[in-house]
Amino acid sequence: MAFLGRALSTNASSRLFRSLSAPLGPNILPSGQPRSTPLGPHHWDHTTVVPSAAMSLQPSTTGCVEATQPQQQQPGSTQQPLPHIPEVHNRELAPALEQLLGPLNSTPLLPPPKPVVIIISGPSGVGKDAVVQKLKEARGDLYFVVTATSRPRRPNEVEGRDYFFVDRPKFEGWIKDDMLLEHANVYGDYKGIPRQQVDDALKAGTDVVLRIDVQGAATVKRLMPEAITIFVTAESERSLVTRLASRRTEDMNKLALRVQTARDEISRASEFDYIVENGTGKLEKCVSQMSSIIDAEKARTARRMAPSRS
């Protein structure tokens, strides 16, 4: 039985090969011309099934593979043939390409980023000082402007690091001489940004960070529309009050004034470009988001590709 099965299989294969070659016939060439020497009925010629080297195999609609002739450029076509490119070593690639395409431009495709002003603001007690200090530790490429104030220095505050502490008459002299980029009266004390710090840093090509209140942020934004404004908020008003109370620097009346002012400032958060939450115990996350905002803003096409001003 096994021998009979193999015999039937062999006969079926023979019939399949004969059916494949049937359209041309064993004595007809692929070109349609008869052979000069006819082949016998059991002679199978490979030329009837093997495509020539100039053909390519393509799948047909029947699922079989058909041989097709390579496409030739049509007469009258405007498409120009590619020039012959000789093989070259890597060190010779640029000169070879210049022979084909002309000189290669070595000018940087991306101009250096322009310095930006970053404004960090938010309600009192939200932790702006802690955010700025942590950002300063993480980003040595930024210049942090030191704000001037007429209020008394608190414990652990350092002159020239946290603020420039000046008396009221001196501060008012700075206002008169237009030495401040912006200034405001906050809870009965002056605060302001020395103009010279900002101008010098920008001329040196350094990004500038300003830590100012909401009122001052609005003033600087009007003067510098391209400045990046970031509003820092707490997770809730109750959390904000807890932070203010933990300072133990104000009595109940002053604390109530700060909370009311914070409410007014939070209502203006929509005026800022970005808002970041400084949640309790999540200072590093807040600073990481802020750093990402700065990097993304500096990579914006409008900032990198904008024409330089004269």
Q: pLDDT category, 246, cuts 50, 70, 90? A: confident
> What gap in Å lies between CA 279 and CA 294, rounded to an integer?
20
Cα four-point dihedral sign 257, 263, 192, 206: positive
Give the residue numbers marked as catalytic: 154, 247, 258
List beta partners, residue 207.
142
Q: Are 120 and 211 in contact (CB under 8 A)?
A: yes
SS3 of residue 180 by DSSP: strand
* pTM to 2 decimal places: 0.65
Domain boundaries defined on the chain = 117-302
Query: Would you state the pLDDT for residue 255?
Result: 86
| pLDDT over threshold 70, residue 294 | yes
What's the residue count for the chain?
310
The pLDDT tens digits of the residues spanning 201-220 come to: 999 999 999 999 898 999 99
Architecture of domain 117-302: 3-Layer(aba) Sandwich (3.40)
The pLDDT tens digits of the residues spanning 256-291 come to: 888 898 999 999 999 999 999 999 899 999 999 999
The label of the residue with tokens 């000189």 reads 103
Show the beta-strand stretches assigned E in the chain. Answer: 56-59, 65-68, 117-121, 142-144, 148-149, 164-165, 180-186, 189-194, 207-211, 228-233, 274-277
